[in-house]
Structure 1
Amino acid sequence: MKEITANELAKKVNNGAHVNIIDVREDDEVAQGKIPGARHIPLGQISERLSEIDENEHHFMVCRSGGRSGKATSFLSEQGYDVTNMAGGMLAWEDKIEK
């Protein structure tokens, strides 16, 4: 499984790179703040919402600590998606958040 650190992803976001971030946490967790521009698709809905995830784009998966996003990364990789897990999740994110 491909992984990226929170700091590496923050650099991409801050440098204006085109990044697709999917936050797989639950609604109450996302309400406390998410990475600016991240899309929210809870882990339990990933399989039924595949049509919302562009197969031709690269996606970074995020959760609270990296476990659920790791599961999402593995699942999406098996479906043929190009995905990378953000190691450490939002607990490791030290940059801006949006609410």
Structure 2
Amino acid sequence: MASTGKEISYSDLKSLRENNKDLLLVDVRSKDEVDRGRIPGSIHIPLEDVEKEFSLDAQAFQEKFDVPKPLLDTRDLVFHCQMGRRGGVATDKARNLGFKNAQNYTGGYKEWAEKEGK
């Protein structure tokens, strides 16, 4: 079902959320943006902190975000922003750190909110 491509759609994300309890959805928008609304279950790591936070060891990551740090080969790591651009940058950063299957939800929060009627 999941491709090894870097980008996923709204329907991909919906099915990942329903079928995968290990999915880690990372919102890379600013705190102000997140405070105005977020995709349920996402964790917030601003774009400028992605490299630092994903370089933490597993225990530090777990303590800081209250979720397990993903394994490098996980297919369950998805980034998103408001409209797709910053999510793409974050995905590239994660891939450069070795998370070779990291993906970007290109529709971002904007599309999610529209489709979910928020």
Question: What is the TM-score of this pair, normalised by structure 1?
Answer: 0.84
Task: Note the alpha carbon deviations across 1:46-92, whole angstroms, 9 max, x for none.
Answer: 12111234234330001000000100001111111030100121111
Hey, what does 2:34 align to over in structure 1? 30
Q: Percentage identity across aligned positions?
A: 30
Hey, what does 1:9 align to over in structure 2? 13
Hey, what does 2:71 align to over in structure 1? 55
Hey, what does 2:88 align to over in structure 1? 70
Question: What is the TM-score of this pair, normalised by structure 2?
Answer: 0.72
Hey, what does 1:92 align to over in structure 2? 111
Structure 2 unaligned residues grouped into runs of 5+: 62-68
Hey, what does 2:43 align to over in structure 1? 39
Q: Report the structure, 1 or 2, having the larger strand content.
A: 1
SS at match of 2:102: strand
Structure 1 unaligned residues grouped into runs of 5+: none
SS at match of 1:85: strand
Two-structure CA RMSD over aligned residues (Å): 1.9
**Which fold has the larger relative contact order, with Cα–Cα distance below 8 Å and residues 6 or more apart in sequence?**
1
Q: Aligned equivalents of 1:39 and 1:25: distance in 2?
A: 11
How far did residue 7 of structure 1 move? 2.6
Q: Which runs of at least 4 in structure 1 moved beyond 3 Å after TM superposition?
A: none
Q: Report the structure, 1 or 2, having the larger helix content.
A: 2
